[in-house]
Amino acid sequence: MSQHDPNADFYDGLAENYHRMYDDWWAFATDYTEVLAGLLATEGVDPPAKVLDVTCGIGTQALPLAAKGYRVTGSDLSGRAVQRARQEAAARGLDVELVTHDVRRIADHGGRDYDAAISGSNSLTHLLTDEDLRQALTSAHRCLRPGGVFLATIRDYDRLADDNVQGLAPEMFGSGDDRSIVVQAWDWAQDRRTLTAHHIMLLKKRNREGWDTTVRTIDYRALRRAEFDAALKATGFADVRWFFPDHQDPQGMAPGQRSSYYQPVVVARAA
């Protein structure tokens, strides 16, 4: 991916209104990052450990981790998302290093002694090929100290593909002139290995009648867990484990592999 990649364009366009996909973005971010911090703690990664968020966006995971006392560096392909993250960090008095960088080459930014590297919000599934995913995981591995922890969250594409899920149902957020409606429609590739998501956002026009409508399109890889496991092991990670949302019961789930996070979480260690 380059600085003019369609993924960068998508998140550049979304950065200003990203928070309007939630009733309270910061409450959502802090609540769910608390879950991720708990998983990091079980791996021995406690504040003030060094954490690298390789796909930080506007700071949904990076900023709450910094608020908990972690020493955080956040990186993202979208320059506007990174700028928004800086604004959100400044508004909360948080000391976070935030840079614009390609996840596949994050090791080039410097640093080989991070205690953990994370990627939240299904971000790594924008890497559509085995080679792109290999480069990203290899680069993240190079940033970690020996035994460092890698943590990522992705959608449950094993289930979504099997169930032929066609998108995300409309949801309304906010109130009054701050209302927004968000919906996604998905077009699956014939082989069901990728999907194109049409992200539709309606924003209530402030102080006037009507709604502004934006449709943005982006591609995802429907990354299965077995594929992610294999990619992690091939790039030097070991002890790969999955944690599933409390409300899900995937086949073959080992006892105890649950979390209150809203997406499946994978945890591994740098061998």
Helix%, strand%, coil% for the chain, nearest 5: 35, 30, 35
Helix (H) or strand (E) holding 76: strand 71-76
| Nearest-angstrom CA–CA distance, 177 and 47 | 40
Q: What are the tens digits of pLDDT across the range 5-21? A: 899 999 999 999 999 99
With CA atoms as reference, report the closest residue to 120 among 42, 51, 204, 195.
51
**What's the pLDDT score for residue 219?**
98
| Domains located in the chain, CATH noted | 6-156+223-270 (3.40.50.150), 159-220 (2.20.25)
Q: What are the tens digits of pLDDT across the range 156-198? A: 999 999 999 999 999 999 999 899 999 999 999 999 999 999 9
Q: What are the tens digits of pLDDT across the range 115-157? A: 999 999 999 999 999 999 999 999 999 999 999 999 999 999 9
With beta carbons less than 8 A apart as the criterion, state whether 234 and 134 touch. yes
Helix (H) or strand (E) holding 109: none
Quote the DSSP letter at residue 59: T
Q: Pull the structure tokens for residue 245.
A: 């949302």
pTM equals 0.94
